[in-house]
């Protein structure tokens, strides 16, 4: 393998950055571009700064390396899916203490930067329970001009990747997605270390079905293998590769 620098930027963070709020999910977009999630690295207010790419989802042109900010107000987006048929982006977002989110961007190419509210709005709380003027965590997004999550989890499930599961996996599936969860085994009853199965309605503005498949391991990543009709999971506690398939 020969590695070369592909993309870099001048927007830096200091040595006190929090490394586990890094984002870093990449998927193919459209028009020869990819999408990249960038966490806030503990620098909360940068997520609302349009002059910074910290706390954003950006697109990068594979040829020119030029980038555009697609959305802002992200804390740590670790799940990302672009539906080319519907031209929508779905991403999952780690909240602080509580407040993990599923967000949908219905207009990823309209030159309007969608704003998901962090750290002004969140359904979670700061880990020390203290109020911060610069990060008040209001319990509404819409009231403050932000996009409401279509789903949020309190308590958190330590939300991770999101993948679309087609009807070839199950004839009952329409707009069905599996969402991974990290977390702790002793909190599996809260949805940790499980796959969360959700189904959207035709307009993707409502969740019409939910189910939870307990796995008992931290699910870092997932991918649907069309040729085998299975879901592969990266289980990081063991560590191992897990296989999920229908047996009847």
- Contact indicator for 93, 147 with CB cutoff of 8 Å: no
- Contact indicator for 205, 150 with CB cutoff of 8 Å: yes
Supply the DSSP symbol for 50. Answer: T
Q: What is the pLDDT of residues 108-123, one digit of tens each?
A: 977 889 999 999 999 9
Rounded-to-10 torsion of CA 63, 66, 70, 73: 130
> pLDDT band at residue 70, thresholds of 50, 70 and 90?
very high
pLDDT the model gives residue 109? 79
Nearest-CA neighbor of 36 among 80, 97, 92, 3? 80
Nearest-CA neighbor of 139 among 98, 91, 199? 98
Question: CA–CA separation, 21 vs 93, rounded Å?
Answer: 10
pLDDT the model gives residue 134? 96
The answer to whether residue 236 scores a pLDDT higher than 90 is: yes
Pairing status of strand 114-115 against strand 67-72: parallel
Q: How much is the average pLDDT of 135-148?
A: 98
pLDDT the model gives residue 104? 98
For the chain, percent of residues with pLDDT exceeding 70: 100
Q: What is the pLDDT of residues 71-122, one digit of tens each?
A: 999 999 999 999 999 999 999 999 999 999 999 999 997 788 999 999 999 9
Q: How much is the average pLDDT of 50-77?
A: 96
Q: Give the CA distances from residue 232 to residues 184, 225, 226, in Å, rounded to whole numbers and listed in that order.
A: 20, 7, 11
Question: What pTM did the predictor assign?
Answer: 0.95
Rounded-to-10 torsion of CA 70, 75, 80, 85: -40
Whole-number mean pLDDT of the chain?
Answer: 95
Q: What is the pLDDT of residues 177-226, one digit of tens each?
A: 999 999 999 999 999 999 999 999 999 999 999 999 999 999 999 999 99
Q: Specify the range with the lowest mean pLDDT, choosing from 5-14, 116-125, 128-137.
A: 5-14
């Amino acid at each position: 393998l020969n590695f070369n620098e592909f993309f870099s930027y001048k927007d830096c963070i200091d040595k006190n950055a929090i490394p586990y709020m890094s984002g870093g999910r990449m998927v193919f977009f459209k028009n020869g571009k990819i999408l990249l999630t960038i966490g806030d690295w503990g620098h909360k207010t940068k997520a609302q700064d349009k002059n910074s790419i910290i706390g954003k989802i950006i697109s990068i042109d594979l040829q020119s390396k030029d980038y555009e900010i697609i959305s802002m107000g992200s804390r740590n987006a670790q799940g990302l899916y672009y539906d080319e048929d519907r031209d929508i982006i779905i991403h999952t977002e780690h909240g602080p203490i509580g407040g993990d989110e599923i967000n949908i961007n219905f207009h990823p190419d309209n030159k309007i930067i969608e704003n998901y509210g962090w750290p002004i709005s969140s359904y979670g709380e700061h880990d020390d329970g203290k109020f911060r003027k610069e990060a008040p965590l209001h319990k509404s997004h819409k009231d403050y001009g932000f996009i409401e999550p279509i789903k949020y989890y309190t308590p958190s499930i330590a939300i991770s990747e999101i993948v679309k599961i087609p009807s070839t996996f199950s004839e009952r599936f329409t707009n069905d997605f599996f969402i991974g969860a990290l977390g702790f085994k002793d909190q599996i009853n809260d949805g940790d270390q499980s796959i969360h199965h959700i189904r959207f309605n035709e307009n993707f503005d409502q969740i019409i079905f939910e189910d939870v498949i307990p796995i008992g391991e931290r699910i870092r990543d997932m991918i649907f293998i069309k040729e085998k009709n299975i879901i592969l999971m990266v289980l990081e506690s063991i560590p191992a590769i897990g296989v999920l398939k229908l047996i009847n």
